[in-house]
Structure 1
């Protein structure tokens, strides 16, 4: 059974990346003759010419380009294995504060994967409005807080990181038509950033509207929407499959919102940073 050497593949990928045998050797701590010998043996093994001589240099061949893409994948798998298995076992209690709509969208996958990977970490999750989570009275009760801020708001904490700017959109039941009169709304209580944006934008236009239902819980709002009580607003990235984005000329543009992460854990910093990385990945931050 033939086997490719990952060490040789790494040399090959490095040559393609930097465009030069000598520079690749310098980066990998090998002489140019040693690098050239590796490539010669690799070409013999796969029975393909991987580089074509052009002038005084070499250019990767068509077969070489094909191998380059697959070699990168093999090296990535190898590096991920060692990176994951070299992580020390994490232990501790992690207190996470998160808005309820993000909890329903993110936590099922995060909790399952994170808890399976780190079974000795105890997660204590609280769902509440962003304003309450970031308040002086509540903020210190959490190690990690995911929250929403208006783009014009200045982060009041040095460790508060803006993960991404997201569009605010109108959402409703995909099986129900929007009423022609008195736009019905389903909203969270006062202090909700969605509610304040919806009302401020609706007040700037002439169409009639009314709040039919108020509930601090995201699942309660979804149930009300499914019962036909009205529509609401959400960050576009977390709109559930059961609802659809509504585009209607009667509905004003809601602008955007900043999704932020506050990491203030000092007792278990490695645990906090690891969970923060899981959240970044789900939010779409590299």
Structure 2
């Protein structure tokens, strides 16, 4: 029995797979186009060609969203593995000395909002460098760095703090967050959702309430920003949060709501005594991510 002649299977292009992964993770062709530095029409052509190669539909599209089909979900797993293997192979030759473990610290709000994206992008560029992540409050992170249990860390500095430690990589307004159309800020005493002792924002926010002689009570106490956000969205309390942390179901409360101004705070990058090339690479990646965020907000 002779087998029928078959044409060789087509080879998948890693650049196209990167575009496919960017769409799958961002849920948008236009956002993916910005990420891979192509026009939306070029991205659409890449996906059309990919679907023709695989003889399957990868995305379901409507006016508001893009979702993966069953075939798209299957390809996503392969695509991530193929890109990771390609990065590993290229890194083996182009950056043979860039390997090891880097211990990085970050406050809870930064750890939740920014670090997953930063670490994922870093792993794509430096697959041989492992980053061990520690999330703690800023005072705890400073202590870990001084005890040489971290190589570098991000810390939040309270509004009005004068310090020369590390370098400023981000400055942002701190606001009182409340539920959209909520009433928590009208209650007496004011219900506040706040972090445990050690948070640099806690003392300053409460001091400003006391300065304005505004009665308050600690309604929710947690070390995690997710708990603060949950209390705010449920309209059970207000909380001091970075303005960028507010979602569509939240609003910033100001003077017209009877709330004191909280000023702006700094995010600083501190490094320990060990400044190896992998540590410098992580630091550069963090700096770039925050500069990119500022550029997007401008």
TM-score bin (small chain)? 0.5 to 0.7
Structure 2 equivalent of residue 41 of structure 1: none
Contact residue 144 and residue 265 of structure 1 kept, 8 A: no
Show CA shifts across 1:231-259 (max 9, x none): 11123344455543223431101112121
What's the secondary structure of 1:260's corresponding residue? strand
SS of 1:203 mapped into structure 2: helix
Check if 1:197 corresponds to 2:208.
Answer: no
- CA RMSD of superposed structures (Å): 2.8
The residue correspondences of 1:115-130 to structure 2 (distance < 5 A) are 115-130=123-138
User: C-alpha separation between the residues in 2 aligned to 1:234 and 1:276?
Assistant: 25
Residue 149 of structure 2 corresponds to residue 131 of structure 1 = no
User: What is the TM-score of this pair, normalised by structure 1?
Assistant: 0.62
Structure 2 unpaired stretches of 5+: 1-36, 38-89
Cα distance in structure 2, aligned partners of 1:110 and 1:219: 19
Relative to structure 1, is the Cα distance of residues 144 and 152 closer, same or farther in structure 2, using a 3 angstrom cutoff? Answer: same
- Measured after TM superposition, the shift of residue 175 of structure 1 is 5.3
Give the TM-score taking structure 2 as reference length. Answer: 0.60
1:91 equivalent in structure 2: 99
Matching of residue 167 in structure 1 with residue 176 in structure 2: no
Equivalent of 1:152 in 150, 155, 161 = 161
Residue 273 of structure 1: CA displacement?
A: 1.6
Q: Does 1:109 align with 2:117?
A: yes
Q: Distance in 2 between matches of 1:179 and 1:258?
A: 26
Asked if the contact 2:157–2:267 (Cα under 8 Å) also holds between the matched residues in 1, the reply is yes
Q: CA deviation at 1:110?
A: 0.7
- Structure 1 residue 141 corresponds to structure 2 residue 157: no
Residue 277 (structure 1) aligned with residue 284 (structure 2):
yes
What's 1:257 paired with?
265
Q: For 2:222, which of 215, 223, 232 is the aligned residue?
A: 215
Q: Deviations over 1:132-171 (max 9, x none)?
A: 111278652111100012343323x5xx112233221111
Alpha carbons 1:130, 1:147 under 8 Å: kept: yes
Compared CA separation, residues 138 and 230, structure 1 to 2 (3 A)? farther
Give the greater-gyration-radius structure (CA).
Answer: 1
Secondary structure class of the residue paired with 1:222: helix
Structure 1 unmatched runs, 5+: 1-72, 74-83
Aligned positions, number: 201
Q: Deviations over 1:185-212 (max 9, x none)?
A: 0000122111111101001113322110
1:23-38 to 2 correspondence within 5 Å? none
